[in-house]
C-alpha cells in the first residue's frame, strides 16, 4: 500500500478517535473560573508588595464576603477570565479555612447545566448546595455548587452555576439568562466591553501531589464531571490538572498554578514571599508554591 495513503488513513483514524473523546467529555462546557488556596498569614501579608505583581500582571483586590453559612476575607489576583484567591487560616470550620486547603472551581455556561451533570453522575456520589450571599442589607441566591459527597482532607474540585438573581444584579436581561454565557460574554455584559488592564488572561493548568486517596478522588471527580482522567493528568476541557502520586504524604500539595498571559513578556522570576514565587516564560506564567 502507498505509504502516503496509509499515513492519511491512520491520521484520519486518530482524528476520529479524539473527536469521539471530545464529544464524550464536552457535552456541558465548563470553564476554570477560580482557584483558591489557604496560605500562612506571613505569605498573605506579602502578596501585594511587589509593584510588577499589582501594576502589570494582576488586578489586585482584598475583599470580604458574607454568606448565610460563612464569612471570610481574601486577597484576589483578578484576571480577564479567571481569579486566584488567597485566604488566611481562620477558626471557621468550613472548607478553605484551614492552612493548605486547595479548591478548584469551574463554572457552567448555561442555566440548567449543573442539574444535568448531577443527573448524569453516579447516583449518590454528588450533591448540589445552594449558596446565598448577604450584600447591601439583602440576601439572595448567589450560586449553586456541584461537588462530590466525599473529598480528600484539603482538596476539592467543584462546578458552580450562578443564580438568575445574581446575574440580573450584574446586568443580565431575562433573555440573556437563557443563552450561553461564555467568559467573553460575561465580561461584555458585566464590564461593558472595558478592556482588561493587566496581563493575566486565563488558567492553563495546575500541578499537585496526591496520595492514593487523592488519586481515587480525581478519578471519581473526572467520571462524574465528564472530564477525561488519564495517568498523571486530568483534562478538564481547556484546563489540565497534572498530578503526581506520592503515597507518603497525608494531604494534597499544591506545586504550581500555570496561567496564560494576554501577551508575551520578558522572561523573569519574581519572589513574592518565602514560599511563593512567579516564573514568567513568554506568554505563560507559573505561580510556584515552595513546600
Choice among 25-39, 117-131, 254-268 with the minimum mean pLDDT: 25-39
State the pLDDT at residue 27: 53
Q: Which residue has the higher pLDDT, 27 or 115?
A: 115
Choice among 18-22, 32-36, 169-173 with the minimum mean pLDDT: 18-22
Tell me which residue has cell 478538564.
236
Residues β-bridged to residue 61: 76
pLDDT tens for residues 190-249? 999 799 999 999 999 999 999 999 999 999 999 999 999 999 999 999 999 999 999 999
Choice among 1-5, 106-110, 249-253 with the minimum mean pLDDT: 1-5
Does residue 11 have a pLDDT over 80? no
Residues 6+ apart with CB under 8 A from 108: 28, 29, 30, 114, 117, 159, 160, 161
Residues β-bridged to residue 210: 245
Nearest to 67 by CA among 130, 144, 134: 134
* Angstrom distance (rounded) from CA 289 to CA 209: 12
* Angstrom distance (rounded) from CA 41 to CA 99: 10
Does residue 285 have a pLDDT over 70? yes
Does residue 272 have a pLDDT over 90? yes
pLDDT tens for residues 44-76? 999 999 999 999 999 999 999 999 988 999 999
Amino acid at each position: 500500500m502507498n505509504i502516503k495513503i496509509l499515513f492519511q488513513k491512520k491520521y484520519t483514524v486518530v482524528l476520529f478517535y479524539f473527536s469521539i473523546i471530545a464529544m464524550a467529555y464536552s457535552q456541558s462546557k465548563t470553564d476554570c473560573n477560580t482557584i483558591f488556596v489557604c496560605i500562612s498569614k506571613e505569605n498573605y501579608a506579602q502578596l501585594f508588595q511587589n509593584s510588577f505583581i499589582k501594576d502589570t500582571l494582576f488586578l489586585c483586590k482584598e475583599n470580604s464576603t458574607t454568606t448565610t453559612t460563612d464569612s471570610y476575607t481574601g486577597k484576589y489576583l483578578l484576571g480577564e477570565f479567571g481569579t486566584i484567591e488567597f485566604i488566611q487560616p481562620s477558626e471557621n470550620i468550613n472548607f478553605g479555612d484551614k492552612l493548605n486547603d486547595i479548591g478548584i472551581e469551574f463554572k457552567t455556561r448555561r442555566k440548567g447545566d449543573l442539574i444535568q451533570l448531577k443527573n448524569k453522575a453516579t447516583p449518590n456520589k454528588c450533591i448540589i448546595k445552594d449558596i446565598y450571599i448577604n450584600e447591601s442589607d439583602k440576601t439572595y441566591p448567589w450560586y449553586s455548587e456541584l461537588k462530590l459527597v466525599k473529598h480528600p482532607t484539603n482538596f476539592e474540585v467543584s462546578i458552580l452555576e450562578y443564580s438568575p438573581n445574581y446575574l440580573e444584579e450584574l446586568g443580565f436581561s431575562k433573555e440573556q439568562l437563557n443563552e450561553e454565557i461564555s467568559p467573553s460574554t460575561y465580561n461584555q455584559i458585566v464590564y461593558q466591553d472595558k478592556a482588561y488592564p493587566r496581563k493575566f488572561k486565563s488558567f492553563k493548568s495546575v500541578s499537585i501531589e496526591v496520595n492514593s486517596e487523592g488519586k481515587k478522588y480525581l478519578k471519581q471527580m473526572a467520571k462524574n464531571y465528564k472530564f477525561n482522567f488519564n495517568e498523571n493528568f486530568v483534562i478538564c476541557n481547556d484546563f489540565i490538572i497534572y498530578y503526581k502520586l506520592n503515597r507518603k504524604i497525608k494531604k494534597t500539595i499544591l506545586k504550581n498554578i500555570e496561567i496564560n498571559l494576554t501577551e508575551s513578556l520578558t522572561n523573569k522570576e519574581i519572589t513574592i514571599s518565602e514560599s511563593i514565587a512567579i516564573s514568567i516564560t513568554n506568554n505563560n506564567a507559573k505561580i510556584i508554591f515552595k513546600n
